[in-house]
Structure 1
């Protein structure tokens, strides 16, 4: 799924390609892509005559400013936008076509058909997923103390917490794996076991990884391309994600793949020490044998 760097690159490309263009008409070929309004014919009618005045982003969502509406688009797994000339051959799996008055077309293609579009009018609520987003990693309001406060009551593995979009918006499997590697934190470490110093380091590396990925055009692991049809290059710089069985770029140890929070997770066993087993001890109180279990200990 495209994450913050990929969606940001799509946003930037679309900003230069379609801002200022006026929509002549819209053709929705797969109705389930459009969630709001319920009637796709109404969706097509409402957008006709509107001008795209901006393209924003919130987390992994694209926000097209088409006054008086906001078109919220989530690419999900493999959604793509491409600008084409009218009459140009249409690629398979093209589900929505925005035709502009200048003769060009913005085409939405989605092989997996998981993407969504919501056309939101003035005063109407945003989609629930967008409403529940937390701060973005680059938000000036987010500092190490704030991150610590957001996670220090959570007992779930830190990877699961970072994937929670209500905690931090925009992170996904690729960049969580990469950030945890750089921070030297095992993905199974309970979030509430991170110190304030570790939170400071983690926030710093999250920002570094995301900025480097944005500058490289994102990561094209499968089908990701930006609005110009260009692939990203950051996949060439990944330290752990997708590199199971290969040597760690830092220590040479073989990268292993685990399953954490239901997701394939890539770890260096040396740079990110695994949790020790729980320790069990026995003691007596007034002649009664008691069994106590210590907390997991981590070495990262």
Structure 2
């Protein structure tokens, strides 16, 4: 599933090709995605795409009359191609531009989404209750520490909760907690401020590095140009359950936590 770095890589990949372009058509080839694609997505036709932004895992395609909200779901991929490029199986959405290029959403599992919002995006039901962006100045150790007080929830699921901070998906939560030396099952309310002061910069570092190298290719993520992300080559715990810790050589343990695969070092993480 594309996580925040993969979505940001997609934003960086498509933006230079479509920002400033007039949208001539929105072709809905299959409207049965996570939510039915509303007719209102056609409101952006004949409007100029001002910019492409990201909030959590949502891409926001902003125009003077409102914004398209695009989500990649479990398996969605974006391509910018000439409009006459033959379509392939699972191409569900096509946004056509005056340049002769189009943005295509290919989504085999159809958990992605395309919606339209004509008012304040910060009040939109999908966006209103989201926590701070992890790479922003608003995500701080003090903020996370205060939110964690009294919480018995495991620290791993706590930092994966979008109400606390957005976009720290499973892969990056595993990696960040390992680098910070924090056991993933430790109660968030039992983690000290000093340990949050170590964890927060590590989360920022891990996500920034993943974006820099193009995301993490596991099963089905590729960049907009079709090339793979390379962060998987830097993973220290995720996907390595039962193997030796790269730091201390202890055998890594793999468990299920919050219904997600969790890998940690019982020696390095306390």
Alignment TM-score, normalising by the size of structure 2: 0.94
Of 195, 198, 202, which residue of structure 2 is paired with 1:201?
A: 198
Quick one: distance in 2 between partners of 1:118 and 1:66?
13
User: How far did 1:223 drift?
Assistant: 1.2
Quick one: distance in 2 between partners of 1:141 and 1:168?
10
Equivalences, count:
270
Of 104, 107, 129, which residue of structure 2 is paired with 1:110?
A: 107
User: How far did 1:75 drift?
Assistant: 1.0
Q: Is this contact kept in 1: 2:18–2:97, CA < 8 A? A: no
User: How far did 1:182 drift?
Assistant: 0.5
* Map of 1:150 onto structure 2: 147
Question: Any unmatched runs of 5+ in structure 2?
Answer: none
User: How far did 1:129 drift?
Assistant: 2.7
Question: Any unmatched runs of 5+ in structure 1?
Answer: 273-299
Of residues 56-65 and 220-229 in structure 1, the stretch that sits farther from structure 2 once superposed is 220-229
Superposition pairs for residues 187-266 of structure 1, below 5 Å? 187-266=184-263
* Map of 1:284 onto structure 2: none
Pair 1:47 & 2:48 matched: no
Superposition pairs for residues 1-300 of structure 1, below 5 Å? 1-33=1-33, 35=35, 38=38, 40=39, 42-44=40-42, 46-123=43-120, 126-272=123-269, 300=270
Quick one: distance in 1 between partners of 2:196 and 2:211?
22
- For 1:96-151, what per-residue CA distance to the aligned partner results, in whole angstroms no more than 9, with x for missing partners? 01122222111110011000111101357754231111011222133211110011
- For 1:179-236, what per-residue CA distance to the aligned partner results, in whole angstroms no more than 9, with x for missing partners? 0101111111000100110110111111111111111111111111222222110000
* Runs ≥4 residues deviating over 6 A: none
Q: Is this contact kept in 2: 1:219–1:235, CA < 8 A? A: yes
Quick one: distance in 1 between partners of 2:133 and 2:228?
24
User: How far did 1:249 drift?
Assistant: 1.1
Q: Is this contact kept in 2: 1:118–1:127, CA < 8 A? A: no
Larger Rg: 1
Q: Is this contact kept in 1: 2:81–2:103, CA < 8 A? A: yes
| Residues 141 and 126 (structure 1), Cα distance of their counterparts in 2 relative to 1, 3 Å cut | closer
| Residues 124 and 175 (structure 1), Cα distance of their counterparts in 2 relative to 1, 3 Å cut | closer
